[in-house]
Amino acid sequence: MPSEKVKACAQAIAEKKWKIAFVESATAGRMCSEFSLTAHSGDILRGGISCYEVFIKEDILKVPHELIEKHTPESAEVTASLARNAAALFRCEIVVAVTGLTAPGGSETSDKPVGTMFLHIILPGSQIAHREIFTGIPEDIVLMAIDRTAELLIEATNASSR
């Protein structure tokens, strides 16, 4: 069941008559799924790609291997590349890319602990790069990242009305 934030976000996007697509690593399709359960899904949702494994990021979404090697698969730089490359595939007003660390065993460091999530959102005339550290079990981290994405999108769609 989508959260109230996701429902409000979907409504705000529908009011703009915009379409949205997702490219997801750490959330593995959950973000797209949550938006698909809203009353406005048929009006807004273009689709999504889950790119949990690095080779999907490289082979399908054309993220340069060197970028991943330099910054790790879970980084602001890779997330931005995912968003830009997915925008060309989906041809829609909003593209959301997400990478991050929901459990130990990735590229975590003291500066990038488990719970660190990277979002990159492309909107008409603007982009949002966001990094945030969430706490809890993997599902909690994923759900908090989804709600934070919805909040950022609501703020951005409201700002574009001014």
pLDDT in tens, 13-68: 999 999 999 999 999 999 999 999 999 999 999 999 999 999 999 999 999 999 99
pLDDT given for residue 27 in this prediction? 98
pLDDT in tens, 78-98: 999 999 999 999 999 999 999
Q: pTM value?
A: 0.96
pLDDT in tens, 93-151: 999 999 999 999 889 999 999 999 999 999 999 999 999 999 999 999 999 999 999 99
Nearest to 121 by CA among 145, 96, 99: 96
Distance CA 130, CA 54 (A): 21
Q: Residues 127, 21, 133, 62: is their CA dihedral positive or negative?
A: negative
pLDDT in tens, 52-63: 999 999 999 999
Residue 160, pLDDT > 80, answer: no
Question: What ranges do the domains of the chain cover?
Answer: 4-159
Q: Sorting pLDDT into bands at 50, 70 and 90, what band is 162? A: low
Residue 6, pLDDT > 90, answer: yes
Residue 161, pLDDT > 90, answer: no
DSSP string, 47-116: EEEE--SHHHHHHTT---HHHHHHH-SSSHHHHHHHHHHHHHHH-SSEEEEEEE-SSSSSS--SSS-TTE
User: Is 35 buried (19+), middle (13-18) or exposed (0-12) by CB count in 10 A?
Assistant: buried
CATH of 4-159 given 3.20.20.220, 3.40.640.10, 3.90.950.20, 3.40.50.300: 3.90.950.20
